[in-house]
């Protein structure tokens, strides 16, 4: 179904017209170019579409982040994004943007959040935002960050250290870094509110002892009109814990080691702007003490992407995007089956994927500056398709995205996606592994138990088919307070969707009795969470966002700005059908699981002098888990939960203006930053009762969340 789109993109041989340079507001640091009597004001690093929101150097510094990756994460949280954004560097896609996201925030001149239709224009899924990072031309820094965290209740603590060296010089970039994190174990005996009464329970670990070490380096270098990149990452992680299995204490250890290498190449070829990358990976993991499983994975992947303007029309430009991916892996696994028999598997898997699309202007013809040539505003239609084939199966899909600006500061967007996707090699053939024990409420016995989750692959999985509809409205910014509002509706309909069983409800256990493992006394001791196909699932969600900057007067002449970002979701429907003759699960009604119908997050932040203060709150409504299809006294009723986090940062550095042109230095030239964070400020914990008001087992003070209020202190120093 997708081949006509690929054929159109490949066969079109239209000579491109000269690229127009859109007029734009002159930016500080982007000097004018004078040609006789003509003065052209251009912004270095701009994307092909105007930004919906923009963060300048001052706004970026006010976030008090450690690196660019943290800036991107914080901005994503504030605009309500749930998917990781697509990252552009200086207006262009690059093979490996992670080479730049580890730089300090003041390596950026500005950050542009592009409107929703930009994803299709850059050949990406419509549910992902695009962010453009415009970097300094020259930058150099060495940063050391160290810190620790500890719950107010004590019992466990962790320390972290991060050392990085970053350099930007025109088109060249390089970095090298090392990180280490060590955390102590938290035992049940260190929490008086932990009420699970099992033999030896005081010695079981509620949180494992962990240690993580990693090192990475990378660089980006120009090759004439092209640029190349190389990145290497080494990572080693180990955790140790003790659990209760069949009334016996059992110590176990998990360890994983990984090496990844990625080489990339960017440039223009025959009118196409291309990015190509080669990824090599080697990973080993093992568990000793529970399942005694081992796995070794060797992988290679090749990604190639290209985009170009096919032609220029009076109403706008026709854009094309093509991409292909080849991946192959060799997996050698040895593990234990549920019946205790050991087995070894060796498999080689490969897949090839193609994706293509075109973006067509419908009416408008306006420039990115906002000038319109149509009374109906500007509208574009993006069409795309994809195909995948390999050892794990085949899939194909189509997508369409319509964006319409009927008026200034108003954007309507609608997207439809349909297709099938083959299961991954890990979903099919991952070895059986026992995970970190967790406390659950057993509806059959009416008691709380600590169960061991079982994960791994399922070679009998079928390829799921999904249909998604997304519609959104975004308005703003209005007034000097930068007021912006947005509404989104999303509908997802899936056949043979791949899921896992996490809640031991009577309805699900009756349908999958072999997935819930009990001992001779009938106590639940393990849940098999390996993936399986559900006959169908249907969900509908609406969400709203609000962003506003409020000026606060501190005196006759002194003012500061408080920014508020609110995101809220309301789940209309969440229904799953297990199969022919099996019960229908309605999670919002509490049948076969439970889900909050409403949730909301709010972020508030401000700056004054060297101080930065921010607070975030996350709230979810209460919900019910039914023991049977009808509500009853033995149901589990989960209360509302609100978590508040507080963050204070103090800059202990000398600050100076960014040099002309953004070169020769940075906004922060020396010093450091002290950050104090308090997670779960009010020490809220999940609480629940039974349907008749009795206290619910497994929901004591420390049963579901033994950490509670956590204090984290971090000190970073620039050299």
Give 327-348 as a DSSP string: EEEEEEEEEE-TTS-EEEEEEE
Question: Measuring CA to CA, which residue among 78, 89, 81 is closest to residue 126?
Answer: 81
Residues 6+ apart with CB under 8 A from 663: 136, 137, 138
Q: Identify the weakest region by mean pLDDT among 244-258, 271-285, 336-350, 410-424.
A: 336-350
Higher pLDDT, 28 or 717: 717
Question: Measuring CA to CA, which residue among 670, 665, 672, 675 is closest to residue 654?
Answer: 670
Angstrom distance (rounded) from CA 87 to CA 97: 6
Structure confidence by residue, pLDDT tens digits, 371-416: 444 677 888 899 999 999 988 788 999 999 998 888 888 889 999 9
Tell me the CA distances in angstroms from 611 to 62, 605, 606, 672, 675, one per residue in order: 9, 11, 9, 13, 10
Mean pLDDT of 467-491: 86
Q: If pLDDT is split at 50, 70 and 90, which confidence band does 668 have?
A: low
Two tokens, residue 635: 């149901």
Two tokens, residue 106: 């003041």
DSSP state at residue 225 = T
Print burial letters for 176-214: b (CB count within 10 Å at least 16), e (below 16): bbebebebbbbbbebbeebbbebeebeebbbbbbbbbbb
Q: What does residue 480 show for φ and ψ, rounded to 5 degrees? A: -70, -10
DSSP-derived 3-state class of residue 91? coil
Angstrom distance (rounded) from CA 331 to CA 671: 48
3-state secondary structure labels for all residues of 11-70? HCCCCCCCCCCCCCCCCCCCCCEEECCEEECCCCCCCCCCCCEEEEHHHHHHCCCCCHHH
Q: Tokens 């409420």 correspond to what residue?
A: 441
Q: If pLDDT is split at 50, 70 and 90, which confidence band does 228 have?
A: very high
Print burial letters for 440-454: b (CB count within 10 Å at least 16), e (below 16): bbbbbeeebbbbbbb
DSSP character string of 602-622: EEEEEEETTEEEEEEEEEE--
Q: Identify the weakest region by mean pLDDT among 78-92, 289-303, 562-576, 695-709.
A: 78-92
Q: Which CATH number fits domain 44-136: 1.10.150.130, 2.60.40.1180, 2.170.130.10, 3.30.420.40?
A: 2.170.130.10
Decide: 546 and 507 in contact? Cβ < 8 Å. Answer: no
Would you list the domain boundaries of the chain?
A: 44-136
Question: Measuring CA to CA, which residue among 537, 707, 666, 709 is closest to residue 143?
Answer: 666
- Taking 90 as the threshold, does the pLDDT of residue 713 lie above it? yes
Angstrom distance (rounded) from CA 401 to CA 358: 10
Name the range with the highest mean pLDDT among 67-71, 376-380, 513-517, 708-712: 708-712
DSSP character string of 532-590: EEEEEEEEEEEEEEEEEEEEEE-SSS-EEEEEEEEEEEEEEEEEEE-STTSPEEEGGGT
Q: What does residue 59 show for φ and ψ, rounded to 5 degrees? A: -65, -35
Run of H or E residues at 491: strand 483-499
Average model confidence (pLDDT) for the chain?
A: 84
Sign of CA dihedral 389, 390, 394, 399: negative
- List strands edge to edge, sheet with 623-625: 623-625, 636-638, 688-690
Higher pLDDT, 374 or 316: 316
Residues 6+ apart with CB under 8 A from 58: none
Q: State residue 11's pLDDT score.
A: 37
Residues facing residue 570 across a β-bridge: 542, 598
Angstrom distance (rounded) from CA 572 to CA 542: 7
- Taking 50 as the threshold, does the pLDDT of residue 338 lie above it? no
Q: State residue 3's pLDDT score.
A: 40
Structure confidence by residue, pLDDT tens digits, 9-22: 433 333 323 333 33
Structure confidence by residue, pLDDT tens digits, 138-171: 999 899 999 999 999 999 999 999 999 999 998 8
| Cβ atoms within 10 Å of 709's Cβ, excluding its own | 15
- Taking 80 as the threshold, does the pLDDT of residue 277 lie above it? yes
- Its pTM stands at 0.83
- Taking 70 as the threshold, does the pLDDT of residue 52 lie above it? yes
Q: State residue 689's pLDDT score.
A: 95
Percentage of the residues of the chain whose pLDDT score is greater than 90: 45
Angstrom distance (rounded) from CA 522 to CA 516: 11
Q: Kindly report the length of the chain.
A: 719
Higher pLDDT, 517 or 343: 517
Mean pLDDT of 288-316: 88
Q: State residue 106's pLDDT score.
A: 87
| Cβ atoms within 10 Å of 646's Cβ, excluding its own | 15
Two tokens, residue 100: 């730049």
Decide: 186 and 155 in contact? Cβ < 8 Å. Answer: yes
Mean pLDDT of 471-489: 84
- Taking 50 as the threshold, does the pLDDT of residue 4 lie above it? no
């Amino acid at each position: 179904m997708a081949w006509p789109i690929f054929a159109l993109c490949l066969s079109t041989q239209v000579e491109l017209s000269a690229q127009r340079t859109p007029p734009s507001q002159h930016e500080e640091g982007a000097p004018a170019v004078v040609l006789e009597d003509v003065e052209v004001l251009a912004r270095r690093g701009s994307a092909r579409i105007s930004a919906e929101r923009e963060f300048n150097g001052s706004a970026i510094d006010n976030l008090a982040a450690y690196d660019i990756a943290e800036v991107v994460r914080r901005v994503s949280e504030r605009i309500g994004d749930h998917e990781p954004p697509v990252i552009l560097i200086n207006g262009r896609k690059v093979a490996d943007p992670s080479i730049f996201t580890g730089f300090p925030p003041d390596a950026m001149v500005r950050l542009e959040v592009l409107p929703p239709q930009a994803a299709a224009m850059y050949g990406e899924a419509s549910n992902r935002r695009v962010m453009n990072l415009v970097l300094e031309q020259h930058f150099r820094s060495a940063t050391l960050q160290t810190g620790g965290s500890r719950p107010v209740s004590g019992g466990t603590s962790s320390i972290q250290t991060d050392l990085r060296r970053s350099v930007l010089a025109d088109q060249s970039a390089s970095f090298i870094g090392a990180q280490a994190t060590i955390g102590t174990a938290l035992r049940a005996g260190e929490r008086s509110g932990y009420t699970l009464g099992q033999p030896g329970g005081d010695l079981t670990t509620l949180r494992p002892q962990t240690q993580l070490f990693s090192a990475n380096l990378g660089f980006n270098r120009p090759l004439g009109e092209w640029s190349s990149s190389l990145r290497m990452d080494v990572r080693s992680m180990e955790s140790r814990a003790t659990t209760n299995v069949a009334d016996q204490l059992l110590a176990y250890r998990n360890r994983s080691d990984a090496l990844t290498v990625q080489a990339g190449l960017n440039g223009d070829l025959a009118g196409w702007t291309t990015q190509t990358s080669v990824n090599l990976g080697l990973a080993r993991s093992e568990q000793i003490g529970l399942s005694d499983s081992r796995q070794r994975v060797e992988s290679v992947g090749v990604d190639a992407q290209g985009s170009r303007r096919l032609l220029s029309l009076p109403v706008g430009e026709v854009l094309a995007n093509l991409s292909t991916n080849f991946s192959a892996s060799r997996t050698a696994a040895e593990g234990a089956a549920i019946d205790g028999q050991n087995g070894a598997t060796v498999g080689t898997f490969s897949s090839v994927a193609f994706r293509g699309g075109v973006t067509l202007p419908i009416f408008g013809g306006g420039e990115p500056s906002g000038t319109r040539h149509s009374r109906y505003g500007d509208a574009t239609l993006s069409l795309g398709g994809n195909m995948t084939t390999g050892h794990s199966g085949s899939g194909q899909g189509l997508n369409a995205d319509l964006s319409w600006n009927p008026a200034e500061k108003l954007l309507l967007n609608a997207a439809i996606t349909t297709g099938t996707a083959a299961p991954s090699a890990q979903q099919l053939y991952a070895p059986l592994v026992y995970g970190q024990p967790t406390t659950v409420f057993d509806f059959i016995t009416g008691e709380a138990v600590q169960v061991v989750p079982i994960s791994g692959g399922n070679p009998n999985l079928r390829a799921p088919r999904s249909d998604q509809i997304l519609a959104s409205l975004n308005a703003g910014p209005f007034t000097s307070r930068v007021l912006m509002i947005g509404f989104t509706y999303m509908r997802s309909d899936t056949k043979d969707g791949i899921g896992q069983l996490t809640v031991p409800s009577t309805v699900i256990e009756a349908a999958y009795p072999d997935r819930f493992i009990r001992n001779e006394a009938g106590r639940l001791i393990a849940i098999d969470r390996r993936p399986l196909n559900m006959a169908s699932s249907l969900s509908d969600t609406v969400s709203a966002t609000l962003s506003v900057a409020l000026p606060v007067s501190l005196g006759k002449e002194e003012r500061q700005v408080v920014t508020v970002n609110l995101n809220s979701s309301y789940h209309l429907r969440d229904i799953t059908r297990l199969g022919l003759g099996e019960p229908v699960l309605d999670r919002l009604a509490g049948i076969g699981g439970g889900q909050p119908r409403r949730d909301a997050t709010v972020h508030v932040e401000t700056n004054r002098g060297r101080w930065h203060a921010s607070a975030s709150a996350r709230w979810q409504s209460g919900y019910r888990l039914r023991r049977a299809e009808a509500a009853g006294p033995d149901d589990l009723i989960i209360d509302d939960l609100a978590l508040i986090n507080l963050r204070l940062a103090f800059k202990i550095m000398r600050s100076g203006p960014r040099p002309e042109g953004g070169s020769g230095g940075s906004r922060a030239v020396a010093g450091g930053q002290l950050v104090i964070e308090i997670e779960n400020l009010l020490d809220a914990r999940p609480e629940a009762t039974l349907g008749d008001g009795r206290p619910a087992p497994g929901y004591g003070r420390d049963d579901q969340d033994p950490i509670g209020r956590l204090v984290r202190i971090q000190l970073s120093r620039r050299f």
